[in-house]
Amino acid sequence: MSNRILVLYGSYRSDRMGIRLTQFVVEGFRARGDDVELIDAKAIGLPMLDRMYKEYPKGGAPAALEELAGKIRTADGFVFVTGEYNWGMQPGLKNLTDHFLEEWFWRPAAIASYSAGRFSGARAALAWHGTLSEMGMVVISSSIAVGPIAQTLSEDGKPMGEGGKALEHAFPRFADDLVWWMEAARAQRERKKPPY
Q: 101 in a domain, yes or no?
A: yes
The greatest distance separating any two alpha carbons of the chain, rounded to the nearest whole angstrom, comes to: 52
By percentage, how much of the chain surpasses pLDDT 90? 93
Q: 120 in a domain, yes or no?
A: yes
User: In this model, does residue 37 exceed pLDDT 90?
Assistant: yes
Cβ burial, residue 22 (10 Å; 0-12/13-18/19+): buried
Q: 48 in a domain, yes or no?
A: yes
When divided into structural domains, the chain yields a total of 1
Q: 133 in a domain, yes or no?
A: yes
Q: 196 in a domain, yes or no?
A: no
Q: 156 in a domain, yes or no?
A: yes
Q: 117 in a domain, yes or no?
A: yes
Q: 26 in a domain, yes or no?
A: yes
**Among 146, 134, 83, which Cα is nearest to 109's?**
134
- Quickly state the pLDDT bin for 196 (edges 50, 70, 90): confident
Find the domain containing 179 and state its range: 4-191
- CATH number, domain with residue 27: 3.40.50.360
- pTM over cut 0.85: yes
- What backbone phi and psi angles, to 5 degrees, belong to 111? -120, 125
